[in-house]
Amino acid sequence: MSADNEPGDGATRHRARDGAAFEIQPCIDGAHHFTRAQWRAELQRGMTRLSPRSRWQRFASGIGQLSDRQLDELTDIDGTWRVALCAVVATGGDYEGIGVARYLVLPGTTDIAEFAVTVVDRWQGRGVGGALLDRLLDSARRSGLATLRGYVFPSNAAMLALCRRHGARIVAGTDFLQVDIDVGR
């Protein structure tokens, strides 16, 4: 998997382990990014491309569809304190979302953000999650954050492997592991 040249507008080109091309870009607010309405639809469509296991690992519930309120929250970003990056593939002049990585700076702090990464099942294990987390860390670094914090089920081997690659500190909680990654300012 590799990041090639910058196609512009905050987007980077990548190749999956099997050579398939994808891009990572801010989800909205750019010339060729999704509008907020498109992104809402894309997030809802993405839910149908997640297996029950993936939905459970991401949302800790058997949720099938996102509610309007969840869509409001997931698309409420400002590019600094609330950031979302989309992995997309070009499909005949349009883009299809295949993954998303996000963070939200925690209330009462200025340098710790809670983060999550999700990749649709068909694209999992091909390097997309790793590329999304790399770019999310770049963004956090530029915003002066110190720590990205995630909550991961102990059985989520792929997410734990991703976090360990970045030297995460992992602390056991009741149901989840708390995973802290130093952003490395």
Ligand X SMILES: CC(C)(COP(=O)(O)OP(=O)(O)OC[C@H]1O[C@@H](n2cnc3c(N)ncnc32)[C@H](O)[C@@H]1OP(=O)(O)O)[C@@H](O)C(=O)NCCC(=O)NCCS
- Does 159 engage in binding with ligand X (CB under 6 A)? yes
For ligand X, what does the binding mask look like between residues 28 and 67, x meaning CB under 6 A? Answer: --------------------------x--xx---------
Which DSSP string corresponds to 46-69?
A: HHTTS-HHHHHHHHSS---S--HH
Residue 148, Cβ neighbours under 10 Å: how many? Answer: 25
Instruction: Figure out which of the listed residues 27, 86, 100, 119 binds ligand X, where binding follows CB under 6 A.
Output: 119
Which are the contacts of 92, defined by CB distance < 8 A and separation ≥ 6?
none
Q: How far apart are CA 34 and CA 29, in angstroms?
A: 8
Report the residue number, 29 or 149, with the smaller CB distance to ligand X.
Answer: 149
Query: Contacting ligand X (CB under 6 A), which of 127, 140, 145, 168?
Result: 127
Distances (CA, A) of 66 to 40, 46, 71, 73: 9, 10, 6, 10
Whether the Cβ atoms of residue 151 and residue 178 lie closer than 8 Å to each other: yes
Q: Which residue is nearest to ligand X (CB)?
A: 129
147 part of the interface to ligand X, by CB under 6 A: no
Interface pick for ligand X out of 86, 88, 152, 168 (rule CB under 6 A): 152
Interface residues with ligand X (CB under 6 A) are: 54, 57-58, 116-119, 124-130, 150, 152, 156-159, 161-162, 165
